[in-house]
Amino acid sequence: MTKKTIVVTGGAGFIGSNFVYYMLNKYPDYRIVCVDCLTYAGNLSTLKTALENPNFRFEKLNICDYDAIKNLFEEEKPDIVVNFAAESHVDRSIKNPDIFVKTNISGTQTLMDVCRELNVPRFHQVSTDEVYGDLPLDRPDLFFTEKTPVHASSPYSASKAGADLLVLAYYRTFNFPATISRCSNNYGPYHFPEKLIPLMIINALNDKPLPVYGDGKNVRDWLYVEDHCKAIDLIIHSNKLGEVYNVGGHNEMANIDIVKLILGKLKKPESLITFVEDRKGHDRRYAIDPTKIHDELGWLPETKFADGIEKTIDWYLNNKSWWEEIISGEYKNYYSKMYGEN
């Protein structure tokens, strides 16, 4: 494999950091340059082992800062830029949409403008299945394909959809060499405690109430984070440009079933479950049809949910200091504002 320099934006967050480790392990000759401005969701301790690798560089930069990004790219001459950097939590987007538009839309545009200016040969946008809106619960025969119209429900998904449209417009207008992946819900190590699976694991471990929105019947299509990393690896090493790929492993589960499964694994009582007010505009069901990425690039998910959730729970049990540091800091204020004094 020819040596490459890959810029990973948002590499101090959940999926970006898993991608950093995946790439450092798989391609020992590659240079991985992480760009992250370390918002509440970015954590340098996540990258502790990567920082010891001479092929890894970390730069604390905002993707909206054109000059700083341009200086870095001039120096590093990336072969590929993979954009994970984003505001990623639906509940926060309902409270404060502004930063979602800035980072997710303007940040993506800024990165693409620098890439165009410097003729970076390849750009990949990490998007989400949430851009398609939702599916009804009573139509299990329906799935999101790449042809499903974009129909976002939350400020988060609308901002991701806006970025996707810009990427496709840059491809059409400027022949900008880009691809997009739209993945379903990920789970695994380094998942920030505000999201469903880590939140429920951590609350259960601390014998705190588990807040389930609405009736708990909303369905998500869960994929182990490493399978998502493998999909992105395949896309960026393919010769496909201007394409969108849906990524998902046909693993639909209702929230309440996930919560009960976690309680069962941790031997905690179901009486910890507390039904709370529903999320505004709450999407009912996400379900990905991954036929295109399978047929064109040979991608298939490798980790079954039963194994992935086991590995994930073990990771949270074995890495208490990672999440204890987070939940004892600024996150405490977020939690009490969001869920009351639980």
Check: CB of residue 12 under 8 Å from CB of residue 184: no
Q: Which partner, ligand TYD, ligand NAD, none, binds residue 211 by CB below 5 to 8 Å per kind?
A: ligand TYD
Token reading at 113: 């403008």
* Nearest-approach distance from CB 14 to ligand NAD, in angstroms: 3
**In whole angstroms, what is the distance from residue 340 CA to residue 211 CA?**
11
Q: Tell whether residue 36 is a contact of ligand NAD (CB under 6 A).
A: yes
Instruction: State which residue, 44 or 272, has the beta carbon closest to ligand NAD.
Output: 44
User: Following CA atoms 7, 8, 11, 14 in sequence, which dihedral angle do they give, to the nearest 10 degrees?
Assistant: -170
**In whole angstroms, what is the distance from residue 60 CA to residue 230 CA?**
26
**In whole angstroms, what is the distance from residue 21 CA to residue 233 CA?**
12
Say if strands 5-9 and 31-35 run parallel, antiparallel, or are unpaired: parallel
Q: Tell whether residue 338 is a contact of ligand NAD (CB under 6 A).
A: no
**In whole angstroms, what is the distance from residue 56 CA to residue 23 CA?**
10
For residue 322, give the nearest of 198, 187, 180 by alpha carbon: 198
Q: Tell whether residue 255 is a contact of ligand TYD (CB under 6 A).
A: yes
Stretch that binds ligand TYD, among 158-166, 194-202, 226-234, 311-319 (CB under 6 A): 194-202
Stretch that binds ligand NAD, among 38-46, 167-175, 300-308, 317-325 (CB under 6 A): 38-46
Check: CB of residue 155 under 8 Å from CB of residue 100: yes
Instruction: State which residue, 64 or 199, has the beta carbon closest to ligand NAD.
Output: 64
Q: Quick check: is 156 catalytic? A: yes
Token reading at 283: 């999407």
Q: Tell whether residue 183 is a contact of ligand NAD (CB under 6 A).
A: yes
According to CB under 6 A, which one of 181, 185, 303, 312 is a site residue for ligand TYD?
185
**In whole angstroms, what is the distance from residue 265 CA to residue 108 CA?**
40
Q: Quick check: is 130 catalytic? A: yes
Provide the binding-site residues for ligand TYD, judged by CB under 6 A: 90, 185, 195-196, 199, 211-213, 218, 220, 255, 279
Provide the binding-site residues for ligand NAD, judged by CB under 6 A: 9-10, 12-16, 36-39, 41-42, 62-64, 84-88, 103, 107, 126, 128, 160, 183, 185-186, 192
Positions marked catalytic = 129-130, 156
